[in-house]
Amino acid sequence: MITPSLPPIDWNRMTWSQRYDERRAINAECDALLEGALSKTPLPAAALDLAGWGFRSLRQGADALMRRALAAGVSVRIVTVNPGTIFPDQRDAAEGIPEGTTAVSILELIAWADELNEAGGPGSIAIRVISRPAPFFLWRYGSALFAGPYEEKFSQGTATFRAEEGSDAFKILTGRFEALWNEAR
């Protein structure tokens, strides 16, 4: 089932606590938030929710952190695009990268999640795929949410925003993530 069409997100009209000029600028902050949660006893009861394409920077830059998070009991939910559809190739064209790059990245994400899940532990990664383009990037853990649009030419160079729990942006994007999660298979 495809989620009924939702109005486009007006990124400039929502309430944000911070704006980042490039998506890659949030990596250290996201890692620090997750590290901080892992240092607490008991571990806060929150899932790490992600929406987007292949999450290459997460896989390459935060692999050890993700392994620790899963070992500590963090549950991860990822919504990504079905790599067997035309949409990954459309993303490649938009970013000016070789055709097949995004589909391979999504397949690597799925293999990485399988590898981490096979390592055992109380946490796990669940991946669901949608059969349409990823409508936005999202990283949410606890009361922190980072999100941004996918624009042409280099998604890592696209503006990304931070929203805090209780803000309109947090509520809207949390609702949209849940709608995608429920739509995905």
- The pLDDT tens digits for 14-70 are 889 999 998 889 999 999 999 998 888 777 777 899 999 999 999 999 999 999 999
- pLDDT > 90? residue 4: no
Q: DSSP alpha helices (H): ranges in the chain?
A: 27-38, 56-61, 63-72, 87-95, 101-118, 168-183
- The pLDDT tens digits for 127-172 are 999 999 999 999 999 999 999 998 766 666 688 999 999 999 999 9
CATH number where 137 lies: 3.30.870
Position 20 in a domain: no
Position 48 in a domain: yes
Query: What contacts 168, CB < 8 A, 6 or more positions away?
Result: 14, 15
Position 17 in a domain: no
Are 177 and 128 in contact by the 8 Å Cβ rule? The answer is no
Crossing angle, helix 101-118 and helix 63-72, to 10 degrees? Answer: 40
Domain count, the chain: 1
Q: How much helix, strand and coil, in percent to the nearest 5, is found in the chain?
A: 40, 20, 40
Q: What are the structure tokens assigned to 184, written together?
A: 């995905």
Position 13 in a domain: no
Position 113 in a domain: yes
Give residue 114's domain range: 30-183
Mean pLDDT of the region 78-100: 95
Residues of the chain above pLDDT 70, percent: 94
pTM of structure: 0.93
Surface-to-core class of residue 81, CB atoms within 10 Å of its CB (0-12 exposed, 13-18 middle, 19+ buried): buried
Are 117 and 109 in contact by the 8 Å Cβ rule? The answer is no
Position 143 in a domain: yes
Position 81 in a domain: yes
Position 3 in a domain: no
